Amino acid sequence: MIKSALMALLLAGASIVGQAAERGADPLDSPRWSDMRKEMFPAAAKVVFDERVKVTAPLTAENAMNVPVSVDAGALQGVREVLVFADFNPIVRIVRFEPKGAQPSLGFRIKLQQSTPVRAAVRTSDGSWHVGGTWVNTAGGGCTLPSTGSASPEWQKRLGEVSSRVWARKEGGERIRLRIIHPIDTGLAAGIPAFFLQDLDLTDDKGKALMHIEGFEPIAENPVFTVDVPVARASAGYRVSGRDNNGNAISAVIDK
Amino acid sequence: MNALPRSARALIALFALGWTLLLAAADRDYGLSPVRIADDTWALVGRSEDFSVANGGNIVNTAFIVTRDGVVVIDSGPSRVYGEQLKRAIARVTDKPVSLVVNTHHHPDHFLGNQAFAPETLAALPATIKGIHSEGGSFNENMYRLAGDWMAGTEPVAPTRQLAAGPLVMGDHRLELIALDGHTEADLVILDRSTGVLFAGDLVFNGRTPTTPHADLSHWQAALDRLEKTPFTILVPGHGPVAADAGPIRQTRAWLTWLDRHLRQAAEDGLDMTEVLALPLPAEFRGLAVVNAEYRRSVGQLYPAYEQRALSGERRKP
């Protein structure tokens, strides 16, 4: 009798959990999700978890100063903007980008302070947000360490220097990879103010927009970005321009 | 108690804390059992794993040679407790004192047992000593995180005696110190000419994937070329079983050669780091211990340099 009552209780419990999952419980089961929901999106916004938003990062990251992440929202139509954030990072926002002609995907590297979900929220033309993500386990500490650059005068001479290359892709279209010399300090290491890339605009050789990237403090030092351009927007050359939070300009021609 | 000044009470508290930490480690037993591999020569072979609380950091090989003038120890292990248990294991084999403890390079599993030995017996290449001074503290902290209680009471101790390449006679054993680099900035190899045993340190891994946090792959490959030309009877790698042939040297080189070509090709193909991590490993390496974890770490450690070369147009011929 007692056993069956217990069983009934257990079953009831299981069905409540099941219902929560159907209503859209966080697939990454993060205790910070409800805060993220409130902080990142307007209350009235439609926010759904969507497996079509692919976030690729190593499950275990030994070097918390340089964790590789790729976001791909190519399975969704009408992508307007993508916001990448990490629930447990002291600075949650990592990067925001608007694919204005480039593929809705971006490769980059980040600093993490501890193990955390890394998520991408994709706003599509109907105004709804599609959220995908993955857990990254790390010993952390990446956000409160000074950059290597901050200890060396070398970067000052090369600040904002861009190296880049363009590849033809087997899938069609082109790939642009670029690296920018910048120490990127989070402001969380004692005595070193925040110093990071704020805006980057990637255009074709006529100046027509391909992608706008808004950076935040947790992007890794000397950031490397991977951007794919569809066949229709492939160009004889590309340009990148932007600035950091101290107003230093970045400007370079990306030759083929 | 109130009669004691505050400073004395603080000292007592500190002392008590120290003992508590040591006692926590005291019940940890690495079960070290030296295996005789040649005349006067014993090896202690660690597990082919990653550092963990389960193995207490005992993933490394240490060894010792009992000479007429005392014992030569090659690497002191990953913790104070390991060093102490190594010393007791030596005492079970011989009543000769330890006269020389060599750290082959500055990685934590090769020197954090130094505390157990008399400071004047500790010795290493100059760059290894420098590396222990500059990175020993952070290695030690990291080992506490990875191996937990086993590390209790462990502090980095850098050798003061500097070694140089060349012959070194220890009692009835004629040792040859070979100073190489590539796994780290300074990798000391010891050839015992009296027995033909080659202690290769971490320049050679056997059945376990090599680690690359401070690696220079081309220097490492050159060091392996040199080792393969060195005549020996028994090979003690830094990690993995003792061998009687150059198989582990070739295996280590095969991995490094592949890794170098693979990362260069990936960078030349414009792959993002996450794409490189997702590439399949060749069948010949899938049997190596911890191959997936070491591949992931090596990509993180080494790929940015390959990427930078590919982006800046400093392209090397394949």
pLDDT at A36 over 90: yes
Instruction: Write the DSSP assignment of B183-200 as a string of letters.
Output: SSS-EEEEEETTTTEEEE
Cα gap B232→A11, rounded to integer Å: 68
Distance, in angstroms, between A241 CA and closest chain B CA? 18
* B278 and A CB contact within 8 Å: yes
Residues of chain B scoring pLDDT < 50: 1, 314-318
Of B275, B278, B297, the CB nearest to A62: B297
pLDDT mean over A216-238: 96
Q: Return the percentage of chain A with pLDDT > 90, whole number.
A: 79
> What is the side-by-side strand order in the sheet with B234-239?
B166-170, B173-180, B187-192, B197-205, B234-239
Taking an 8 Å cut-off on Cβ atoms, the answer to whether B304 and A167 are in contact is: no
Give the model's pLDDT for residue B13.
67
**CB-closest option in A58, A61, A107 to B272:** A107
For position A155, what pLDDT does the model report? 77
**What pLDDT is stored for residue B288 in this prediction?**
97
pLDDT at residue A13 tops 50: no
Burial annotation B171-201 (CB, 10 A radius, 16+ → b, else e) = bebebebbbbbbbbbbbbbbbbebbebbbbb
pLDDT class of A23 with cuts at 50, 70, 90: very low
Do A13 and A70 reside in the same domain of the chain? no
Are residues A71 and A19 located together in one domain of the fold? no
Residue B304 and residue B312: Cα distance in Å, rounded? 12
ipTM surpasses cut 0.90: no
Report the residue from B270, B277, B312 with minimal CB separation from A58. Answer: B277
CB contact under 8 A, B277 and A68: yes
Q: How many domains does chain A have?
A: 2
Question: Contacts of residue A58 in chain B, CB cutoff 8 Å?
Answer: 274, 277, 296, 300
Using CB atoms, pick whichever of B296, B304, B307 lies closest to residue A58. Answer: B296
Listed by number, the residues of chain A in 80-119 with a beta carbon closer than 8 Å to a beta carbon of chain B are: 107, 109
How far apart are the CA of A99 and the nearest CA of chain B, in angstroms?
18
**Contact criterion met (CB below 8 Å) for B301 and A63:** yes
Q: Based on the domain organization, do A137 and A13 belong to the same domain?
A: no
Residue A57 is nearest to which of B142, B145, B274, comparing CB atoms? B274
Sorted by where each starts, the structural domains of chain B and their CATH numbers stand as: 32-246 (3.60.15.10)
> In this structure, are A241 and A191 located in the same domain?
yes
Is it the case that residue A4 has pLDDT exceeding 60?
no
- Searching chain B, which residue's CA lies closest to the CA of residue A170? B269
* Cβ-Cβ contacts under 8 Å, A168 against chain B: none
Q: Hey, what's the torsion of the CAs at A134, A137, A143, A147, to 10 degrees? A: -100
Average pLDDT over residues A49-60: 97
Q: Are residues A9 and A91 in the same domain?
A: no
Taking every pair of Cα atoms in chain B, the longest distance, rounded to a whole number of angstroms, is 78
Chain A positions in Cβ-Cβ contact with residue B310 (cut-off 8 Å):
165
Pairing, β B122-124 against β B161-162: parallel
pLDDT surpasses 60 at A93: yes
CATH code of the domain covering residue A202: 2.60.40.2470
Chain B CB within 8 Å of residue A152 CB: no
A139-197 pLDDT, tens digit per residue, is 877 788 888 777 777 778 889 999 999 999 998 999 999 999 999 999 998 889 999 99
User: Is residue A88 located within the same domain as residue A170?
Assistant: yes
Confidence class for position A17, pLDDT limits 50, 70, 90: very low
pLDDT score recorded for residue B318: 36
Exposed/middle/buried for B144, CB within 10 Å: 0-12, 13-18, 19+?
middle
| A256 at interface of B, judged by CB pairs closer than 8 A | no
Which domain covers residue A21, as residue numbers? Answer: 1-27
Cβ of A163 and B297 within 8 Å? no
- Whether the CB of B300 is below 8 Å from some CB of chain A: the reply is yes
Q: Which residues of B touch A63 (CB under 8 A)?
A: 300-301
A16: pLDDT strictly greater than 90: no
Residue A177 and residue A191 share a domain: yes
In the prediction, which pLDDT does B14 show? 62
Q: How many CA atoms lie within 13 A of A4 on its CB side?
A: 1
**Distant-in-sequence, close-in-space partners of B306: CB < 8 Å, separation ≥ 6:** B263, B264, B266, B267
Which token pair is B12? 């007592």
Chain A residue at shortest CA distance from B276: A68
Query: Distance, in angstroms, between A144 CA and closest chain B CA?
Result: 15
**Residue A229 and residue A204 share a domain:** yes
Chain A hits for B308, Cβ within 8 Å: 163, 179
* CA dihedral of A136, A141, A146, A152, whole degrees rounded to 10: -70
**Which chain B residues contact residue A137 at CB under 8 A?**
none
Q: Is A146 on the interface with B (CB under 8 A)?
A: no
- For the stretch A102-152, pLDDT in tens is 999 999 999 999 999 999 999 999 999 999 999 999 987 778 888 877 777
DSSP state of B23: H
Q: Is the Cβ of B270 closer than 8 Å to some Cβ of chain A? A: yes
Residues A78 and A129 in one domain: yes
Task: Identify whether residues A22 and A35 lie together within a single domain.
Answer: no
Closest residue on chain B to A139 (Cα) = B145
Q: B134: part of which helix (H) or strand (E)?
A: helix B126-147
B297: helix, strand or coil: helix
Claim to verify: residue A1 and residue A84 sit in the same structural domain: no
Enter the tokens of residue A217. 């403090």
Within this chain, do residues A108 and A23 fall inside the same structural domain, yes or no?
Answer: no
Rounded-to-10 torsion of CA A59, A64, A68, A69: 70
- Residue B200 · residue B7 · CB < 8 Å: no
Angle at B309 between CA B308 and CA B314, to 5 degrees: 140
